[in-house]
Structure formats: C-alpha cells, structure tokens
A and B are shown apart, each in its own frame.
Chain A
Amino acid sequence: MEKFTSVKGIAATMLNKSGNQLSLMMNIDTDMIIPKQFLKTIKRSGLGKNLFDEMRYDMNGNEIESFVLNRDPFTKAQILIAGKNFGCGSSREHAPWSILDFGIKVIIAPSFADIFFNNCFKNGILPIKLSEEKINLLVDDSMKGVEFEVNLINQLIIINEKEFSFEVDVINKDCLVKGLDDIGSTLARATYIDEYEKKVLDNFAWRNPGRD
C-alpha cells in the first residue's frame, strides 16, 4: 500500500438538485459507486472508468455532461465531498478500488457506513468525517475548483488561508502514514493466535466445524 501523508488537489462535490437548491447527496451506496456488472472481475485494478457508472454515462455509454466527475477540472479530482451515510449497502471492496483507480484519495462526508469506512483504510484512502456545517463551508471552494490540501500528519484540510481540523483514529492514521500491511502485523502476533486456538481446541472442541 502506498504511504499517505498529504494530498493536494481538486475536490469534487456530489450534489442533489431540488428546484434551484443544491444540497449534499446523502446515502450514496456502493451499488451507485460501482454497479454489479463490474464485479465480475478477478482483479483489483481498472475499475476507475466505471466509478459511478450509471450517473456518469448514458445508456449508450456517452458521458453525461452534468455529472461532476465528467467536467473539468473535476475529471482530475483527488478529493470527493458528499452527504451523510456515504458507502452504505454492499460490502464490495470494488467501491474503494474504483474510487482509488479514478484517482480519488480522500472522501469527506458527515458520516460513513461501517464496512465501507473500514475498506477505505485497507486501500490507502482517507475517509474524513466532518460536520455538515463545516462541509458546507468547503462546497463553494470545491465548486470553483480551488486547490485543497489534506494533510494527514497534522490532520488539517487547508484551502488558501482557511484551515479545518479533522479527527482520525490513531491506528488507522498509523496504517495510512506507514502504508502498513495489516496481515503482516497480525502474523507477527501469531503466537497469540496459536495459544488461542489451543485453548479452544482443549475446551470448546464443538467450535470446530463437524465434517463427516
């Protein structure tokens, strides 16, 4: 996994329109992020072109101009801003894979679904929880295509002279900053797993699946 310290780039905002009013799109589910027809792959790479496929392309495969990621400079977005409960639904890790493959490394939303949130850290993506009020202060600059800096070390989003701090769990931060492989660090504790398995075998033999 690539090390993550800071990202400088364009931020795209996912908005819903109701009359003349724009508001943050909530409940963006993983089916929207990457529809099922792209889950037949046996690889992790190459999904970026199908990120938000059904919002991004019409039935004939032509780009829908009004969709944010089809418009310059957002075609190069590295940060995505959205409404609450981002990433709900299916556990498919194809969702963060497609986001990363497109080039997005940071997602800012008021809240995230648990499985998706977890999947992000395993792939070097930083999901940032920020209150809706604070996010609303970012939207204007995002729409103008102003450069954002997301500094994980100092836990700051920096836009021109403005700074917004954010929280991140210590372990998750450490994983991103060092680009750590979880499996490697767990295997380093294999003796604990050995001991645990022995204890189970001795006292709870029924916990092992029976096979005829």
Chain B
Amino acid sequence: MSEPKTIYDKIWESHLVYEDNNDCLLYIDRHLIHEVTSPQAFEGLRMSNRSVRKPSNALAVADHNIPTTDRSKGIGDEESEIQIQTLEDNCKEFGIEYIKTSDKRQGIVHIIGPEQGFTLPGLTIVCGDSHTSTHGAFGALAHGIGTSEVEHVLATQTLIQKKAKNFRVTINGKCNQNVTAKDLALSVIGAIGTAGGTGYVIEYTGEAVKSLTIEGRMTLCNLTIEAGARAGLISPDEKTFEYLKDRPMSPKGDDWDKALEYWKTLPSDEGAKYDKSIEIDAANLSPLVTWGTSPEDVISIDGNIPKPEDIEDDSKRSAVKRSLDYMNLTPGSPIKGVEIDRVFIGSCTNGRIEDLREAASIVEGKKVSNNVVAMVVPGSGLVKEQAEKEGLDKIFLSAGFEWREPGCSMCLAMNADKLAPKERCASTSNRNFEGRQGREGRTHLVSPSMAAAAAIKGCLTDVRELIN
C-alpha cells in the first residue's frame, strides 16, 4: 500500500510535468486573468514573439479598476480605460475568452471562476492576484502569481515550482450564532500571524469547516494568503459536487461521472503526514474585528485594544504603536463603540450571495446611521441579479445603503470608491493595511453581518446585540 497522502500531495503529484530534484514543472489547468497584472505579460509575449500555449485554459475579466456606478457611458478614468481596453485587445489577439464589462457574468475573478464552473476540484488554478487561494474551497490547488509567472503560464501552461509543506488547521466544534466563516478565518490569522503559513499550503478540516457552505469555504480559503500561505485547501464533498453540477463550464454527461469518480479520491488519506498542525475550537469564538493595520491584529468585538507596553518583542511593539497611531485608537479601551464613517460590503472575500443575505438579514427594517455612508458591491453581475430577485437590493436601498455594480471596488480602492484621509470604515474586505482603502483611511475587517450592524449603529457593534 502506498503512503497516505494529503490532498495537496495528490494534486501536486498529478500535475508534475517534469521533476529533477528541486526543479519541478507543474501543469496549470486554469488561468484567470484581469486587467491590472496582465498587460506586461502579454507585452512580454509579443516582444519575444511567443504565443499562448492553450488559450482555452484561460478566462479573463476586468474587475480591479472598473467603476461600480453606471458604466454604460464608459469607464470615466483614462488610465483605467486604457488598462481595461488593453485586456480586451490582448484577449482578442491571443484568442482568450474575455467577459465584457457589459456582460452580466462580469465580476471579481474569484467569484466568477466558481460561478461558471471554471473552478473544479483536483485542478491547479492560478491568477495574478493573491486571493486566488479562494478556489481552494473546492479542493483545487490555487494560488496567486506575479506578472512574470502570468507570462510563463501563458507561454507554457506550466509553472516552475517547489513543493510547499503541509499545514493542517482543524477547526472543531460548532460556530456560535453570528460567528461566520470570516470570523473563523480571522481567528486563524490571529492565531498563526500573517507569516504563520509562509512556505506552506494550509488544509482546513474539522467539524466547523465541514459545516460551512461552499460560500463560507471560499471566504475561509480566500483569507489564507493573509496568513502567509499561498494556497488553502478543503477536501471536496457532496456540497462541492452539488454546487458545481450543471454550471456553464463544468463537465457534462460522461465527463461529469468520470470527474466525480476522480474527485472522490481527492480527500486527504487517513494518517497523512502534516509538517505542522493547529486546532481551534469554533465554540470559543465571538464575532471578531481587526484593530490595527495587519490582518493578524484581531480581537473579539467585546475585547479591548492592546497596549504596546504589554508586548515584549521590540519589532512587534513598535509595529503595534505605529498601527495604533495610524488607526487613532486608544490603547486599552474597548473596540466596541468606536465610531465609523463608512461601511463596505463586498470583495472576493465577502461579495457572494450568502454574504449579502447575511448582511440584509441584519439590515432589514432598519436605517443606516446618519453619520455613515454605506455601500454594497455585489461580487458579480450574477450575484447582483440573484440578490435583486430575492429583493435584497430593496432592503439595502430602503435602509440607506448604496447598491452598486460589481467589481473589486473599495477593497483596494483602485477605482473611485475609496476612503478620504482619516475616514474609518467597517469593511468585509481582506486587508487593513495602511492606505489600502485610500490614503490615511482606517479599515476594520469584519464579517458581513458585523459590517451591517456597524452601519446601523454608526460604530463598531456586537451584531448579537441587534438580534437578541
């Protein structure tokens, strides 16, 4: 009998094209492309007179730069317009499928991949975007790459890789009310730190992970990169298969049956070896919020902001001090009640239908606080359409939220959606870095229901108080 393997080991081995000691060439099944990290790659191909090896393995869409207001009149910003047009032109030149900005399937790359059934278990998936880890929710090996590697994949359909180590994160127990996949992810980052997963692929397992919906699993895997690991993985199960069945690009008929048979062999074997393991008990968690400028700066909503003097490590202490100055927070005081100016619900982390339902359930029948500007940006045109079918748009609009067109929006603030200096935002996005949502903007990462609660109360709030 062969040695027990993790799902990562299995996908790795099945994609090895060439191996010579540490020099490995890994086959890439899917390549998602967007406007920001691809123009230089296509330019590189042209300069070296190279072609795209397998254009059908790629799918392109504009998301980072695109305005979330009415785009029928154009993009509005000259540089963004050029970048988006360049993507469309490049796709045409090299024969890659491009989803136009006017297409209702347009949306954030990591939302449309699964929606279209482009994302499947057992595949290798890359994109010039660090949140490619999202697709690991399906049991695919998915990670972000730089532009040079985008060019490499276009030209060769492979990547030069070194095998990462296996890291198992087991989340036991059941989540308390209003503790979501976002909170699970933040708790992992808080526990291991933003470099805790460097050099590893993280596999999530345990009762709390298995209980998550596919949307929740995507949120969890999405944030894996914030823990330093390039890829997160969850073994596929019946929920995965049900989600993928009959998606436009998923296998059909005989191919589906063969795929299914194969996918069932993917879960990690009993007794597989992990280089590192941690366990977290979901039952101990409350809704979480970040206080600082690193996603590891996590506390419970009923917790207090840390004091730099309590921290022993010099580098860490000065980093905390810098964060607290930037965030303009008082050490030792409660995080609950800190007033906010903006709320952002959306992004590849929390811009799916389930996230909007979760937020709408809190918002329904209530009003956004007078001092808050709040917006909802669906992750894709299809998410938007579904939400409108369910009447979620009306719930948000009548509460005073803005209801926008799909895109990355204020998660990275490359378009017009950004924080003004010193503005404070409760955000469902993935990074609270200095300047991430706008220069001198202050970001608190939270779940969709916590963001909704903050919008209603005008301050960071324990969502459970709005329900009970």
Contacts and interface: CB of A to CB of B under 8 A. Distances in A.
| Binding between chains A and B | yes
Interface of A: 16-18, 21-27, 29, 31-32, 35-37, 39-44, 54, 59, 83-85, 88-93, 96, 111-115, 118-119, 122-123, 132, 169-171, 181-183, 186-187, 189-190, 192-193, 196-197, 200, 204-212
Interface stretch (B149-157, B232-240, B339-347, B460-468): B149-157
Interface in B110-147: 117-118, 120, 122-123, 128-130, 143-147
Interface of B: 17-18, 22-23, 25, 27, 29-30, 36-37, 39-40, 43, 48, 50, 53-54, 56-57, 59, 64-65, 77, 79-80, 82-83, 86, 97, 117-118, 120, 122-123, 128-130, 143-149, 151-152, 155-158, 160, 162, 194-195, 198-199, 228-230, 248-252, 255-256, 258-259, 262, 294, 308, 314-319, 321-322, 412-414, 421, 431, 433-436, 439
A182 B149 CA distance: 9
Contacts of A169: 22, 162
Nearest to B147: A93
B267 to A, nearest CB: 18
Given A31-B433, A90-B129, A197-B157, 12 more contacts: A18-B321, A21-B318, A35-B435, A36-B414, A40-B414, A41-B79, A89-B431, A93-B148, A122-B146, A132-B315, A192-B18, A207-B29
A25 B319 contact: yes
B156 A186 contact: yes
A24 B318 CA distance: 9
21 contacts: A16-B318, A21-B314, A25-B318, A31-B433, A59-B421, A84-B315, A85-B198, A89-B433, A118-B149, A119-B148, A183-B48, A183-B50, A186-B156, A192-B25, A193-B53, A206-B258, A209-B30, A210-B248, A210-B250, A211-B249, A212-B248
Given A40-B80, A204-B262, A54 B439 contact: yes
Contact of B148 (A182, A187, A196, A197): A182
B50 A93 contact: no
Contacts of A89: 130, 431, 433
B56 A208 contact: yes
A176 to B, nearest CB: 14
A200 B97 CA distance: 22
Contacts of B152: 182-183, 186
Contacts of A91: 37, 128-130, 144-146
A206 B25 contact: no
